[in-house]
Amino acid sequence: CQQLSLAVGITLLGRLSEAYGRVPPNSPGRYAFPQPEDVLTTSPQQLRQLGFSDRKARSIIAIAHAIANELVTSTQLDTLDDNAATNMLTSLPGIGRWSAEVYLMFCLGRPDVWPAGDLGIILGTQYLLNLPDKPKPAELIAAAEAWRPHRTAAALLVWDHYMVAITARRAAAKAEKLPKSK
């Protein structure tokens, strides 16, 4: 979902899963990632037909190539510290810092990752600390130092706080638009 909304990312993942027959038909919400070998038999045009941009399609194929040729493996990533693993992942086409950090958190189970560039983290921290403005990256990093070495857990709590706050704000805005009863 890097630089995509969650809804678009989920839709594209569903299409990709279905295209490779890895998910039973009519199984909403169930997805499976294709194997690198599957992707390497696919052209960028075929991925574009599924809704991927040309750039994302080329990135997916390049990442599949790197995995299939063991240029990047989970065993290698497991042996690296967070910074080195992030650098290895961001060396792949189309993988930015946010994607690498989320991979470290959710796939590798790293306990001390703080995705300071994530909008949910930015706004969640603003709401949590009752800041008048969005915190700058340096402020976010400084605020998270207090949570070291458990910044992944802190990030999960900040994301949850953000979701609760944004849901409450939307409900309040909706309530204000409703006609007043007599």
Q: Which residues of 120-149 are buried (b: 16+ CB within 10 A; e: fewer)?
A: bbbbbbbbeeeeeeebeeebbeebbeebee
118 is catalytic: yes
- Rounded CA-CA distance 4/2 in Å is 5
Note the helical H segments in the chain.
6-19, 36-40, 44-49, 54-68, 74-79, 82-90, 97-106, 119-128, 137-144, 151-177
Q: Which of 82, 118, 133, 160 is catalytic?
A: 118
φ and ψ of 178, to 5 deg: -70, 145
- Rounded CA-CA distance 33/18 in Å is 10
- Do 101 and 82 form a contact (C-beta atoms < 8 A)? no
- Rounded CA-CA distance 26/1 in Å is 23
Q: Which residues are catalytic?
A: 118
